[in-house]
Amino acid sequence: MNIQELNERFQEIYGHKAEHAFFAPGRVNLIGEHTDYNGGLVLPCALSFGTYLLIAPREDKLNRFSSVNMESSYVADAETLKNNPKSWIKYPLGVMKEFEQKGFDVWGYDLLYYGNIPNGAGLSSSASIEIVTAVMLNELTTANLDMVELVKISQKAENEYVGMNCGIMDQFAVGMGKTDHAIALDCATLDYQYLPLNIKGYKLVITNTNKTRGLADSKYNERRQQCDDAISDISAVHEIDFLCQMNEKDFEKYGTQIKNPVNFQRAKHAVSENQRVIKSIDALKTGDLVTFGKLMNESHRSLKEDYEVTCKELDTLAEESQKSAGVLGSRMTGGGFGGCTVTLIEEDKVDEFIEKISKIYKEKTGLEASFYVADIGDGAHKIY
């Protein structure tokens, strides 16, 4: 659906014209999984697809929410905020609550959302709804906050209002993305650099398992707890705030303090994954795509064996992709337990790859995979 059609839909639903439109992308993470809340590095990119938000002010203090691709419409006011609704409006409402707590008036809007990110695919559809709402409120309430502040507000909304204890990577990538660049972000300090994606002759292909992610949020929160428990054990002999403050040598020395063997595996992943991001940044800077591809494969193995956040569907996709002609590397991307893989592949092998992987995946899992050749776009912005 294009902006013109969205405007028409807005007029149909609300009986008047939209005054402004905003956009926030989805994201794909190239490497550095489950390192953000461990104070490590990540390497995400913003995608060209995402969430559109059209808006016009109203006379009263109600907010009316509609969506082109989600089922229900809602009317909310300041009282609704206290009820923590379970539907999709929890994402915009969480952000509104944060703005309200900062003293801004967030009521009196007609809103229409439209997203073309597959939901629950680990491509940050929720961060995209949060950030598009934050960018809109920033403009309409004249709050004038900078993008990193909007990123933090959106992460807080997700942690506290939605109840998903995510790190900062998704909101940061969605807010701060840049066309044809990855963001090398240090999640402990929020220092970042844009890394040009010089992958001429290659493509990044995102493959969706189309597997429902089930209890992903509770399993995610459990992984965070296991990492925190590992830190407590290590801190008895070596003071650290985050697991990724250790390199592999430090981990050999102090990791033995971790009492629970499962927590040891989790910490091992966090430490090794962070080192892989450091090596990936070097490899991408020097155009060494072969090394980067190998690091992607190792990342998947570590997420499968040590962090245990993959599933049969993700493993089938990643491992079959790794064996395919022209592929330099393939790994799960995002939180895991379903969602997508990302594959770095020679451009002229993409069609053959899609045909082959579709067939094998269907045979092995009974599911249909979907494929997207990633287009790396800009972060969130106003359209008009």
Total residues contacting ligand GLA by CB under 6 A comes to: 10
Residue 34 lies near ligand GLA (rule: CB under 6 A)? yes
Residue 335 lies near ligand GLA (rule: CB under 6 A)? yes
Q: Which stretch binds ligand GLA (CB under 6 A): 4-12, 33-41, 101-109, 193-201?
A: 33-41
Identity at 10, one-letter amino acid code: F
Q: Which stretch binds ligand GLA (CB under 6 A): 72-80, 92-100, 161-169, 362-370?
A: 161-169
- We find the least distance from the C-beta atom of residue 34 to ligand GLA, in angstroms, to be 5
Q: How far apart are CA 134 and CA 114, in angstroms?
A: 16
Max Cα distance, the chain (Å):
67
Among 25, 167, 175, 293, binds ligand GLA (CB under 6 A): 167
Residues 108-147: x where in contact with ligand GLA by CB under 6 A, - otherwise, as a string: ----------------------------------------
Residue 33 lies near ligand GLA (rule: CB under 6 A)? yes
Phi, psi of 77 (to 5 degrees): -135, -175
- We find the least distance from the C-beta atom of residue 20 to ligand GLA, in angstroms, to be 28
3-state secondary structure of 216: helix
Q: How far apart are CA 246 and CA 281, in angstroms?
A: 18
Q: How far apart are CA 31 and CA 281, in angstroms?
A: 10
Residue 169 lies near ligand GLA (rule: CB under 6 A)? yes
Contacts 24+ apart (CB under 8 A), 236-245: 241/39, 241/188, 242/38, 242/39, 242/40, 242/188, 243/38, 243/39, 243/40, 243/267, 243/270, 243/271, 244/35, 244/38, 244/39, 244/40, 244/41, 244/188, 244/270, 244/271, 244/274, 245/39, 245/188
- We find the least distance from the C-beta atom of residue 168 to ligand GLA, in angstroms, to be 7
Residue 166 lies near ligand GLA (rule: CB under 6 A)? yes
Helix spans in 177-288 (H): 216-235, 248-254, 261-285
Q: How far apart are CA 301 and CA 294, in angstroms?
A: 11
Contact (CB, 8 A) for 309 and 338: no
Among 22, 31, 36, 227, binds ligand GLA (CB under 6 A): 36
Which residues make Cβ contacts (< 8 Å) with residue 336, sequence separation at least 6?
A: 33, 34, 122, 216, 303, 307, 309, 310, 311, 314
Residue 266 lies near ligand GLA (rule: CB under 6 A)? no
- We find the least distance from the C-beta atom of residue 287 to ligand GLA, in angstroms, to be 25
Active site residue 170: yes
Q: Which stretch binds ligand GLA (CB under 6 A): 30-38, 90-98, 230-238, 276-284?
A: 30-38
Nearer to ligand GLA, 170 or 298 (CB): 170
Identity at 329, one-letter amino acid code: G
Q: How far apart are CA 262 and CA 309, in angstroms?
A: 13
Catalytic residue (one of 60, 105, 146, 170): 170
Nearer to ligand GLA, 55 or 131 (CB): 131
Nearer to ligand GLA, 34 or 203 (CB): 34
Nearer to ligand GLA, 23 or 37 (CB): 37
Positions that interact with ligand GLA (CB under 6 A): 33-34, 36-37, 166-167, 169-170, 334-335
Residues designated catalytic? 170
